[in-house]
Chains A and B, each alone.
Chain A
C-alpha cells in the first residue's frame, strides 16, 4: 500500500501540480482540497499518513487543522508564500516548504516524516 498524503491548496493549478508531483513520488494523494471544510470532509473519510498544508487558505489559517491531524497521528508539512506567516510554537517542529515549491525539496522533506513504501 502506498502511503497517503492530503494536499490542501486553494490555488487550483498549484494544487493540481502538487498532486501530480506527489503522485509521481509514490504517494497516494488525497484531494487536493481547495478549502479547509473540503479537507475536513476528506479526512473524515480516510485519515492520511501525512498532510501538505498551505498555511493561508483565502485568509483562513490551517493551524487548527494541522493540530487535529497531528493529534490523530498524521505528519504535517506546511507550505507558505509568506515570510509573515509564523508557525505557532506548538507546531514549530513541523517542516516548512516555501512557495513556489521545489518539488524535490518537498518530496525529500515529506519523506523525512513519512516515506511512502
Chain B
C-alpha cells in the first residue's frame, strides 16, 4: 500500500479484443509509487464475471482492484471495470451504472473517458489498446480537449488495430507506442509538463513561446496554409507549450526547428490549435431562447427558404442542433419551406467527422428523447443523424477570416469561436457577419462572446443568450471583392426532401378525465379505424385494427397496399376516390374472409374536417342477420344466393373498376398529352436555351475582349497612377487635392507629413481636420478660387515648428475641363523667409557697423569712371547730396602731397598682378584748408578676369593720426630717457628666445650692435658665479608671475667687470602660459662700490672708536700715574683729550680722511698761540697724513704746545714757536721731517724727571711707526725734531 494520498493523474486505459496481452505488457512496466491511478475499461460479457484483476495482478507489483460502486480512486493502484456495468468517475469516486441494454452497441470506454476528462481535466490521460470498432475515439477526443495526454497502441503491436487506428485517425493522439513503452513515456511527459509548468520556468517558457509565436504562425501559414495570425496568443501559447511538453522539448527554439523539419508535428500542432469540443444543445437555455427569439420570428417572415450559417462548426454538433430546432419548428407549424444550413470550419478532419454525422451517446446528453427518436438513427453503437436532416446540412471548408463570407443568411450561429480570436480578429469578423446576413438576420454567439464593443453592426435581442439582430441602418463594412481569395464558386447545395414518410405521431395524451373515458371507450368498444392521408398512406391506426392489417413482405411501409388486407384494399380504393371527389361520406358493406374478423363489415370512408386530405376509415363488423334479416337459410340456397350476391357485387365492383379504369385511362391520356405538350415546350425551351447559349458564348467572347481591353487599360492606368504617385512623391512639394465641398481627395506624402493627415482623412471635410498650421482662411480661399478661377497665394506659418509655407490654391480642372475642387500647394519657404530676415538683419548690422565706425562707403566703376558715394563720403569730401561725383572731384580734394601716393594705391588695386586690395592713407582738404586724415580700404571685384568695380570704405583717422604722432613723440622721449639714464630695456619672447633690446642694452653689455638679442646672448655676459642664479630667478618669476629683480656681475665686451640690476615682469597669453617678459637693466657698479666703501668705513670707525677709547683709558691711566694732584691731572687729561678730539675733528671733516700737516699744526698749536703776536710760524709743503699718524702727531704737537704755554716760549709775550717741515723717506717709504723750535721764551731747564708728556713726545710716534724723536733742551729755546712715516699700516 502506499502512504501517498496525492493523485498525480488518472490514466484511463481502453482495451477490447486482444487487449489482455497488451494490458499485461503495459502494467508490467508501471513503476511503483508513480502517483498515478490506472483505470482499465474493457468490453466484457455481462454473463461472465471478469477475472481480469486476477490475471493482471500477476504481472505487476501494484495493487489491482475490481471497481465497486462508490470506491475512491487512489494512486499507485490499477482499477479494473467489473463486467456488465457502465463506469463513470466523479468527485474522486467510481460510479457503476447498470448497462443500458436498449442502446445498441455499448461504448463503455467512451463513456468512462468522457467522465474522466470532465472530472479531472489535465490530470486525465488515456491509452487506447487493441480492439475492434471505434469505442474510445470519442473519449480520447474528450481527454485531449480537456488538456490531457492521449496515447494509443501502435498498430503493429496490436492484435486488433481497429480501436487504436480509429483513435489515431482523430489526429490528436500524442504518441503511438508499444504497450510496454506506455508507462515510461507517459510519466516522462507528465514530469516534463510539471517541470515546465511549476515555478518560474512556466512563465519563462510562456514568455519565450510568446516571443517566438509569430515564427510559429508564419511557419504554419507558409507550410500548411493555415493562418492563425488573428488568434488569441494565450490559447496558442498554451497549446504550443503542451506540444513541447509532449515532444519533451524544453526550449521553444528547438521545438521550432522540430516544427520546420517535421510536417507531422506541424499537423499535430494544427490539430491542437483547432481542437474543439461541442455537444448537441450545449446550452439548452440558449437554444430555447434561439427558438423563441429567432426561429419563430423568422418563420413569420414571408420568404421561401431559410439559410443558416454555422462558422467554426467543428464536428457539426452545433449545426445539427440548430437544424433539429428549426426542423422541429417547421414541422410543428407544418411548414414546408426550405431550410439550408451551412457548417464551415477550417479543420478538414472535423468536417469529415461532421459529414459522417456519427456521434456518441455522450454528445447527445442534452437532446430530448423524442428528438433523438425523430432525428437520429442508432447505428453501430453510435447515433447517426437522420438523412433528411443531414441533407439539409452542408459542410464545407471555409476560413472565416480569409474566405469571403456566405451571403443572404438568416441566422449565423458562431458559438465559442470568437473567444479564440484576438481583438483584431474579432474586429475583422463582425463586418463579415454583417455582410453575410440578410436584412434583420440574426447572430447567435457563445456565452462569453459579445458584439457590443464592435460598433453598431448589431442590435441586442437577448443579451443573456447572446442573440443579436443585424443593424440594417449601418452600411456594409465588408466587401467580398476586397477579400484575399475569390469567392467560392459553388457551395454544395443539396436537395432537401421535406417529405417525412416515416413519421408516426403519437396520440396526444390528455390528462383530462373525460378524455380518459372517451379514450377508454374508444379502445374497448369502438370499431377498428385508421386514417389515410392524401398520399394513400396510413398515418394512424387504432389498436383494434389488428385482423385487417396484413403487412406486405419487405421493408415496413405505411402505404395502403403494403399494410391492409386485400379485401379491404379493393373496396377501399373506390370509396376513397369517391369521397375525395365528392366529399362527405361513403360506405360499402363487404364480405370478408379474414380470420378473427367479422364475415361482413361495413367500410365507411369519411374525410376528416380538421385535417385536410386525411380520411378516416372505419371498419364496422355487421351481423349477417342484420344484412339480410328475412332470408331463409338453407345451406345451398344460402350458398347460391350468396354466390349470386357475390356475383352481383363483383359485377358492381367490376363496373366500378371499369368506370375507374376508364377514368384512369382518360386521365392517363390527358396526362400523356400534357407530357407531350410539355415535351414540346421543353424542346422549344431547349432550342431557346441553345440560342441563348450561343448568344452567351458570343457575349462571353465580347466580354473576354472587353476584359482584355480593360485589363490593358487598367495596367495603363496603373502605370499612369504609379507615375503620378511617383511624380507627386518625388516633388517633395506638399499638394492637397480637395474635391468640391472641401472634401479631401488626395495628397502627396509630403503633405501628409506637413499637415498630419493620413488616408483615413480622405473623404473628410478639410475644415474638420485638426491641423498644426495656422490657416483659418482656407475655406474662404477655396471659395474664392472656385468662384473666380483665379489662383490665390498666401503665406502661412506653422507656429509649432516655425516653418513658413507659401500656399497656392489653384482650381482643379478635370481632363474635360470641368472644375472639380481645387489643388493646394504648400511650398516650404522657411529658408527664403529666413534668408530675407537674415538679409534684413545683416543690412541693419552693416548700417550699424558703418555708423559705429563712422565709415564712408564708395564704389568706383573703372569702365565708366562712375563713382557712387554714400552720405558719409560726401560729408568728408564736403560735397552736397545732389552733386555728381567724379574721379577728378575725388582727387581734387586730396592734399597735393598725397595725390601721387593715392593714385598709386588705386593703380595697384587694379593691377592684375596684385591681390586687388586697395589701402591708402591721405589727407582730404576741408573748406577751411585744414586737412582730415583718412584711411581708405577696399577691394576690386573681378568678373571674367576683368575688374568691374572697386568697393571700399573711408574712415576719418585724423584723431588716430594725431595720437600716433603723440605716441611717436612719446617713444622718442622714452628712448631719450633710456639713453640719458643708461637704462637698457628689453622684451624677451619666451617661446623662441628672441629679444628686442634698446641700444642702451648693447652699450650696457659692451656688446656689438650686430649681436643677436636673446636671453642666451645676455646670459653669456653674466659671470659664471651669477649666471645660474639669475636664470633660476628668471624661471621663478615666470612661474609665479612675481617681479623679476636680480643683481649680478657681468664681464663687458671690453673685459670690464660691472654690476647690473635686471628687473622684469612676465606677460601671459590668454591660456595663462608665459608669453613674453618685459624689463630693464641698469648699471649699479658705482653704487655697489660706494656701499662697500661705506661698509668699510663703518667697520673702521668702530675699530677706531674702540681704539680711541682704549687710548683715552690709557691716557687717563697714565696721566693719573704722573699727576701730582687732581688739578694738574685735570688740566693735563683735558688738554690731551681735546688734542685727540681736534685731531679727530680734522679727520672727520675731510672727505679723504687725511689731514695735512699744516692743518694739524694750526689746530693743535693755534689755541696756545696768540695770532696778533704772531707767536706761531709754520712753514712746509702740503703733506697729507694717515689718521693714525695724524692722531699721534696731533698728540705730540699738543704736548709740545702745552709745555711751551706752561714753561716755554708761549708762556710769555714776545716768545714764539717756529715749526718747519719737509718731505723725507724712512725705510724707503714717504716720511715727514718736522722741527719744533721755541724762540724768545724763558731760559730752558731740562726736566728733573721724565713725565708722561715727555714719554708721549718721545715714543708715541716711534712706537709703531718707526722713525725717531729728539728733544733738545737748549737754553735759548727747546728744539724738537720728529721723523715719522706718513701712514701706518692702519691707514690703508
Contact = CB atoms under 8 A, between A and B. Distances in A.
A40 interface: no
Contacts of B1113: 14, 17, 100-101
Size band of the A side of the interface?
Answer: 20 to 34
A21 B1106 contact: no
A101 B1118 contact: no
B1260 A81 contact: no
Nearest to A80: B1106
B1263 A10 contact: yes
Interface string A5-36: 00000111111111011000000000010110
Given A84-B1099, A100-B1110, A13 B1264 contact: no
Contacts of B1256: 12-13
Nearest to B1114: A17
A21 B1289 contact: no
Central interface residue in A12, A16, A18, by most chain B CB within 10 Å:
A12
A110 B244 CA distance: 126
A101 B1110 contact: yes
A13 B1116 CA distance: 10
B1289 A16 contact: no
B1103 A56 contact: yes
Contacts of B1255: 16
Interface in B1101-1126: 1102-1103, 1106-1107, 1109-1115, 1117-1118, 1121
Contacts of A81: 1103, 1106-1107, 1110
B218 interface: no
A16 B1103 contact: no
Interface in B439-492: none
A14 B1264 contact: no
Nearest to A10: B1264
A113 B607 CA distance: 191
B1259 interface: yes
B1268 to A, nearest CB: 13
Contacts of A17: 1113-1115, 1117-1118
Contact of B1259 (A10, A16, A56, A84): A16
A58 interface: yes
A14 B1113 CA distance: 8
A112 to B, nearest CB: 22
A58 B1109 contact: no
Given A11-B1111, A99-B1107, A100-B1109, A60 B1099 contact: no
B1164 to A, nearest CB: 16
B764 to A, nearest CB: 116
A35 B1265 CA distance: 8
B377 to A, nearest CB: 149
B1192 interface: yes
Nearest to A18: B1114
Interface residues of B, number: 30
Contact of A20 (B1099, B1107, B1118): B1118
A36 B122 CA distance: 137
Contact of A12 (B1099, B1263, B1291): B1263
Contacts of A15: 1263
A11 B1288 CA distance: 11
B1188 interface: yes
Given A13-B1111, A82-B1103, A99-B1107, A60 B1118 contact: no
Given A17-B1118, A20-B1121, A21-B1117, A58 B1264 contact: yes
A35 B1288 CA distance: 11
B1290 interface: yes
B1 to A, nearest CB: 119
A88 interface: no
B1289 A14 contact: no
A33 B754 CA distance: 125
A103 B1192 CA distance: 23
Interface string A57-71: 111100000000000
B1115 A13 contact: yes
A43 B728 CA distance: 135
Contacts of B1111: 11, 13-14
A20 B1117 contact: yes
Given A58-B1288, A58-B1290, A14 B1099 contact: no
A24 B1105 CA distance: 27
Nearest to A103: B1117
Contacts of B1188: 58
Given A20-B1117, A99-B1109, A100-B1109, A12 B1259 contact: yes
Contacts of A16: 1114, 1118, 1255, 1259
Nearest to A34: B1264
Central interface residue in B1114, B1121, B1188, B1290, by most chain A CB within 10 Å:
B1114
A68 to B, nearest CB: 20
Contacts of A34: 1263-1265
Contact of A11 (B1107, B1117, B1118): B1107
Contacts of A57: 1264, 1289
A34 B1113 CA distance: 18
A35 to B, nearest CB: 6
Interface string B1269-1292: 000000000000000000011110
B504 to A, nearest CB: 160
Given A56-B1103, A58-B1290, A59-B1289, A13 B1260 contact: yes
Contacts of B1102: 82
A53 to B, nearest CB: 14
Contacts of B1195: 13
Contact of A58 (B1099, B1110, B1118, B1289): B1289
Contacts of A35: 1264
Interface in B999-1030: none
A14 B1110 contact: yes
Contacts of A59: 1289-1290
Contacts of A10: 1263-1264, 1288-1290
A93 B800 CA distance: 104
A115 to B, nearest CB: 23
A32 B1263 CA distance: 9
B258 to A, nearest CB: 108
B1214 to A, nearest CB: 34
A16 B1121 CA distance: 11
Nearest to A102: B1113
Interface in B1200-1231: none
Contacts of A13: 1111, 1114-1115, 1118, 1195, 1256, 1260
Nearest to A17: B1114
Given A20-B1121, A56-B1103, A11 B1289 contact: no
A100 B1264 contact: no
Contacts of A56: 1103
B1260 A12 contact: yes
A114 B591 CA distance: 209
A12 B1188 CA distance: 11
27 contacts: A10-B1290, A11-B1114, A12-B1256, A12-B1260, A12-B1263, A13-B1118, A13-B1195, A13-B1256, A14-B1114, A16-B1118, A17-B1113, A18-B1114, A20-B1117, A32-B1263, A57-B1264, A58-B1188, A58-B1264, A58-B1290, A81-B1103, A81-B1106, A81-B1107, A82-B1102, A99-B1107, A99-B1110, A100-B1110, A100-B1113, A101-B1113
Given A15-B1263, A81-B1110, 16 more contacts: A10-B1289, A11-B1110, A11-B1114, A12-B1192, A12-B1260, A12-B1263, A13-B1256, A14-B1113, A17-B1114, A57-B1289, A59-B1289, A81-B1103, A82-B1103, A100-B1110, A100-B1112, A101-B1110
Interface of B: 1099, 1102-1103, 1106-1107, 1109-1115, 1117-1118, 1121, 1188, 1192, 1195, 1255-1256, 1259-1261, 1263-1265, 1288-1291
Which 10 pairs from chain A and chain B are nearest by CB? A58-B1289, A81-B1106, A34-B1264, A17-B1114, A12-B1263, A34-B1263, A10-B1264, A12-B1260, A100-B1113, A100-B1110
